Structure 1
Amino acid sequence: MAAPVRVAAVAPFQELAQAWGQAASIQVKVQPFELSQAIRQVAGRKFDFALVPGSLLPGHRAFLEASPAKRVVSVEVGWETLAPIVHPGNPIKSLPEQMARDLIASESCVNGAELPRDWGALLDEPSMKGRRVEALLPPDKSPAGKALKTLVLPNCAVRTGAQRVSSDAAIERAVARNPLALGWVHRLRYIGQARVLPIVAGGNVEAATANPEALARGWYPFGRKVLLVTNEEPAPDGDAGRYLRFVRSEAGQREVRRLGFTPVWLRAQ
């Protein structure tokens, strides 16, 4: 029996690495690692691929190419994103990027200045005056919580009083019951009862949600790339080569979307 394709995956991408293998009928061994350790596993040829978030840093690339000299193969397979959600009956249509951050940020991030916390002030809606925004966030140590810290509040603590909720599904259920809630979710496959709130990024005029074009053009700010990395192009007729071809295919992109991440590209259905 052939050895399985070995993938060192940073949380929360283990499920995605396994799903590609199942969909392509390829045996895959997936093991979780922190980012630097995942890169080291591939550099030492203990694993065939690393599935990691963000851009490949110069130090990681140098390590992969070090000994023996190799040509790094880095495939953009999708985007990891976070998105704010609100009750379907909430009249707010979109949020400016900085406002989205400020609504869940600690006062200490702006030297104690008063931050927006009131739906009435945000909406200019008399019926919502004095109704405080109730922030529902993923657990601090979870993959979603770590992504929130990296993508939404990179240099800032979470506001006092924000509620930590166990999962995307639990956050959505709570938001669907509470018109005052503002939830942040990680994997959008779950969202159906609440409404995803578009974001106006930077100096843009139009609001955008986390779709492939908006992420690629910088119109949606709360996302980072997901990369499949190896330091040697696998033989095309071997299982590792077949796995890489599947990941790059339209079927591979469908798995990305099915598991709640955003594809790099995908034809209209």
Structure 2
Amino acid sequence: MALSHRAPVRASVCLLLAIGSIFIWSPPARAQTRHITWTGCGISRKAFMGEIAAAYEKETGIKIVLSGGGATKGIRDVAAGEADLGGSCRQHLLGKGGAPIPEETEAQLIQVGWDALVAVTHPDNPVSSIEIDQLRKVFAGEITNWKDLGGPDQPITLMVREGKESGVGHMFRLLVLRDPGFEFAAAGAQVFASTGPIEKAVAATPWSLAIDGVSSARKTKLKLLSIHGTLPTKANVATGRYPLFRPLYIAVGSNPDPEVRKVVDFILSPKGQAIISKAGTVTLAEGANLAPLWKKIEVRLTAR
């Protein structure tokens, strides 16, 4: 019996219908959204940005890729369009006339919380408190032994951030040394590129001393020294009793992408601020009394 010439046609139609049904009935693929990049302040990263990124991805499906490098990198990479978001624990560096320097002009700084500078040492060090004037003398090379700070006769191994523009280095120079150009004069001071390596080195070095951000330092086993007998607890930072408080910022471009703006809105939302608080960092609401105090400090700093 001869085959009908319509059989191949029917077979082709069935094949096309079958292929079409795959596209019709397959579940839609999830829309591919680019990830968002965040770089900069190692203190913010360690303190709460990991938790923020995880919560944001869980809620939106958008991944925030975190990298360090310090506050200066956070501000300037955003200003140059090389990162979507940046973290900073210092304000803009100012040029003539009080405007941000050119490398930082295109980055907006939005405050997201409060940190504080803290002197840290090895956990076995018996010294528990230091005065601000003593800190100045240590970094000026005038005090070089723990016996002059109430401790045993042991030389101080000083550990510092390189350069003068890092978040910790710049703010320490402003708040404690009162001189943004101050040169650390301590002989033999060990120099580090970022906060993480300093924290590890202090933890491994008896009789060491360094300056850190409390939001990060409290997540280590380092000994945090009190200032004038006041410990840098969250409550003491929030009320201003502990004196070396400073703002924490997130940097965005001058005209941020809507998806980037959504991340900022999330961080500033009650949910985002609750994550920051749970991580041990002082939120904007918790540190509301610090805002007018910081305004006065800013006036003094910009007047220099």
TM-score by length of 2: 0.55
Summarize the alignment of residues 69-108 of structure 1 with structure 2, pairs less than 5 Å apart.
Answer: 74-79=109-114, 81-88=116-123, 90-106=125-141
Could you tell me whether the CA contact under 8 Å between 1:53 and 1:226 is conserved in 2? yes
| Corresponding letter in the other structure for 1:137 | M
Q: Superposition RMSD on alpha carbons, in Å?
A: 4.3
May I ask how many residue pairs the two structures share in their alignment?
227
Question: 1:229, CA displacement in angstroms?
Answer: 3.3
Matched, 1:252 2:272: yes
Question: 1:257, CA displacement in angstroms?
Answer: 6.7
For structure 1, the residue ranges without an aligned partner over 5 or more in a row are 66-71, 107-114, 201-205
Aligned to 1:59: 100
Matched, 1:161 2:183: no
Summarize the alignment of residues 205-220 of structure 1 with structure 2, pairs less than 5 Å apart.
Answer: 207-209=230-232, 211=234, 214=237, 217=240, 219-220=242-243
* % identity of equivalent residues: 15
- Give the SS at the match of 2:139: coil
Question: 1:199, CA displacement in angstroms?
Answer: 1.6
- Give the SS at the match of 1:75: strand
TM-score by length of 1: 0.61
Question: 1:11, CA displacement in angstroms?
Answer: 4.3
- Give the SS at the match of 2:119: strand
Larger radius of gyration: 2
Matched, 1:198 2:226: yes
C-alpha distance in 2, partners of 1:5/1:54?
26
Summarize the alignment of residues 95-244 of structure 1 with structure 2, pairs less than 5 Å apart.
Answer: 95-106=130-141, 115-123=142-150, 128=152, 131-138=153-160, 140=162, 146-153=166-173, 154=180, 155-164=182-191, 166-174=197-205, 178=206, 180-186=207-213, 187-192=216-221, 194-200=222-228, 207-209=230-232, 211=234, 214=237, 217=240, 219-221=242-244, 223-231=246-254, 239-244=259-264
| Corresponding letter in the other structure for 2:139 | I
Question: 1:162, CA displacement in angstroms?
Answer: 2.8
For structure 2, the residue ranges without an aligned partner over 5 or more in a row are 1-30, 174-179, 287-304
C-alpha distance in 2, partners of 1:20/1:119?
39
Compared with structure 1, are the counterparts of its residues 225 and 213 closer, same or farther at alpha carbon in structure 2 (3 Å cutoff)? farther
Which structure would you say has the larger RCO, counting Cα contacts within 8 Å and 6 or more residues apart?
A: 1
Could you tell me whether the CA contact under 8 Å between 1:54 and 1:227 is conserved in 2? no
Compared with structure 1, are the counterparts of its residues 171 and 88 closer, same or farther at alpha carbon in structure 2 (3 Å cutoff)? closer
Aligned to 1:39: 79
